[in-house]
Each structure stands twice: as C-alpha cells, then as structure tokens.
C-alpha cells in the first residue's frame, strides 16, 4: 500500500511537470513585468493570497527576514503596487494590501493560465468537460481540507 501511494504521488508530480511544460509550449512563458524582481513578484503573490498580512507575517510566509520584507514592501509601495494600512485597534501594526494597480498586475499574470484553460476546453466534448470540471471540484475540496488542517494546527 505504501509503495502504491508513493508511486501515485510520484506519477502526479511527473504529470504536473508535464502539464507545466506543455502549458508553456501552448501559451508561452508568463511575461513578468521587467521593472519587478522575482522576489517582488513573490511579495505581490503572497499579498494577493493573504491580503492584509503584517510585514512580519509576510516575512514568515516567504521565509525571509522582516527587514528584507519591509524593504520589498517599501519598493512596491513606491511603485504604487502595495499600500500599508494601519490597524484599527493597534496603531503600531500596519497591514499590507494590494493597490488597484497591484491587483491589476496580478490579474494580468493570471490571464496566461486562463488563456491556456480556454484553449484546452475548446477541445473537450460535453462528457470530457464534465469530467474536467469534477477534477477541478476535487482539487478545490482538497484545498479546503488542507486549509482546515493548517488552521487546526495553528490553534
């Protein structure tokens, strides 16, 4: 049973890599904005996933030092992509949020996946679309279970 599970996990990772490579071949690599570093893109992405983090929480999320995270947030705020908003209950705490321009940049990066998905779905008949949808629902269900387990572990 353990070997079967291990083999399935390895196959899933292998298939995921094939999907990633095939996606790039189909829609090309995502065109990252040239004015941003990869680390700045990580900050934007983390903020999009968990809007309202403190700089300390952001640093923990990205596994970087808090002063490094603070500097990255400062540079992204100067570019108009992030903003710091004071906490209503504790004036010492400031939360990091995407600005409208930051949200637009994240949306542009996400459109590459949407283009690929749209092209793939054009090739599926109704039964295949139903199966494809069910796989997405399963993925969302597993994500929710993982979030619940993470939340329970932090309590």
pLDDT at residue 33 tops 80: no
Instruction: Enter the pTM of the model.
Output: 0.60
What does the pLDDT look like over 73-86, one tens digit per residue?
999 999 999 999 98
Q: Where are the domains of the chain?
A: 1-30, 31-108
31-108: in CATH 3.40.1350.10? no
Backbone angles phi, psi at 63, to 5 degrees: 60, 50
- Give the separation between CA 35 and CA 18, rounded to whole angstroms: 30
List of residues 6+ apart from 76 with CB closer than 8 A: 40, 43, 44, 82, 102
State mean pLDDT over 35-54. Answer: 90
Q: Please say whether the dihedral angle defined by the alpha carbons of residues 127, 130, 136 and 142, taken in this order, is positive or negative.
A: negative
| SS3 label, residue 37 | coil
Max mean pLDDT range (5-14, 41-50, 112-121)? 41-50
DSSP character at residue 62: H
Q: What are phi and psi of 27, to 5 degrees?
A: -115, 0
Please give the pLDDT value at position 24: 72
**Tens digits of per-residue pLDDT, 99-146?**
999 998 888 877 777 887 888 899 999 999 999 999 989 988 988 898
């Amino acid at each position: 049973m353990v070997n079967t599970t291990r083999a399935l996990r390895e196959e899933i990772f292998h298939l995921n890599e094939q999907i990633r490579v095939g996606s790039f071949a189909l829609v090309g690599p995502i065109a990252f904005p040239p004015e941003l570093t990869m680390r700045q893109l990580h900050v934007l992405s983390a903020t999009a996933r968990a809007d309202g983090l403190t700089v300390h929480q952001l640093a923990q999320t990205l596994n970087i030092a808090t002063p490094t995270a603070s500097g990255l947030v400062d540079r992204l705020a100067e570019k108009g992509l992030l903003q710091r908003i004071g906490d209503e209950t504790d004036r010492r705490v400031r939360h990091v949020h995407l600005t409208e321009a930051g949200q637009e940049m994240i949306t542009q990066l996400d459109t590459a996946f949407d283009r690929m998905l749209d092209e793939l779905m054009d090739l599926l008949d109704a039964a295949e679309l139903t199966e494809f949808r069910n796989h997405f629902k399963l993925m969302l269900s597993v994500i929710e279970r993982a979030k619940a387990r993470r939340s329970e572990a932090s309590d």
